[in-house]
Amino acid sequence: MTAVSPALDAALAKLADSEHLLIALDFDGTLAPFVDRPEDARALPEAQRAVEKLLEISHTTVAYVSGRAVDSLQLASESPDGVLLVGSHGAEYRFDGVDAHPPLSAEDSARVAALAEAFLGFADEHPGVSIERKPAGFAVHTRGVETDAAFSAENDARRIVADVYPDATVRDGKNVLEFSVLSATKGDAIRHLRDYTGATAVLYSGDDVTDEDAFRVLAESDLALKSGDGPTVAPYRVEAPAEVAAVLHRLAELRAATGR
């Protein structure tokens, strides 16, 4: 297994000593390698095992914080019992199997329906592009689509949304453009999870632009770990999900050694 750098190891040791630890993790590109069809994505087995080890330790909470709709996150992550699920970038929560997010207002439901109607036929006009419906909006997936075609699909999508509901929140990710009638970010999700769990320290790891919102709300006693390439405010970076899994194993080892 990949070794963890000395600087990161020291930071993990400090984190492992905290009274109540929250380990919050993005899913795609962080626990699971990218695949062409989002429904085929699965966490690396070693990541899954590390999460199970962490769940056995007392005063230690694991949460998955994803841009996926929470149903899709639960399916893809095959999340072990006890993992708190946050979907749609903080617009959906599922704790211990119970949905903990407020239902959409009548106005927001009408906005989602109007957007859905405006996107009827969109995937037919843009071969290879797929539309994922979410409770509060949808995502336009362009993974595997040639650059020019993806660019034109994203421009068309932005134009349609600007006509129908210009106040929609737009999120640009890797090969995905998302529109939501809600404005929650992963930063909001981390604040909520911290309150809900009473965590005294947080590890957050993610690979995409939207994960930066989560990194930005972390405090000095927390740890931000970027997975993969791209600009980040996170002070620590690893290459890919295999290295994230190694970090989680090391954290579990250090935390278990504190006698919890």
Among 23, 28, 93, 169, binds Mg ion (CB under 5 A): 28
**CB-CB contact of 54 with 247 (8 Å):** no
- Does residue number 178 form part of the binding site for Mg ion (CB under 5 A)? no
CB of 96 to Mg ion, least distance (A): 24
Tokens of 55: 């769940």
Give the closest residue to 224 by CA, choosing from 6, 1, 15.
15
CB of 256 to Mg ion, least distance (A): 27
What's the one-letter identity of residue 213?
Answer: D
Binding mask 203-242 for Mg ion (x = CB under 5 A): ----xx----------------------------------
Residue reference for tokens 């993974």: 143
Nearest CB to Mg ion, comparing residues 16 and 190: 190
| Binding residues for Mg ion restricted to 102-161, rule: CB under 5 A | none
CB of 222 to Mg ion, least distance (A): 19
Residue reference for tokens 């309150």: 195
CB of 27 to Mg ion, least distance (A): 6
The span of 29-37, 90-98, 110-118, 150-158 binding Mg ion (CB under 5 A) equals 29-37
**CB-CB contact of 84 with 51 (8 Å):** no
Element (H, E) at 42: none
In whole angstroms, what separates CA 82 from the centre of its chain? 17
**CB-CB contact of 28 with 41 (8 Å):** yes
CB of 83 to Mg ion, least distance (A): 16
Q: How far apart, in Å, are the Cα atoms of 37 and each of 31, 94, 143, 241? A: 16, 24, 8, 17
Nearest CB to Mg ion, comparing residues 119 and 215: 215
User: Total residues contacting Mg ion (rule CB under 5 A)?
Assistant: 5
Residue nearest to Mg ion (CB): 29
In whole angstroms, what separates CA 129 from the centre of its chain? 21
Q: Which residues bind Mg ion (CB under 5 A)?
A: 26, 28-29, 207-208
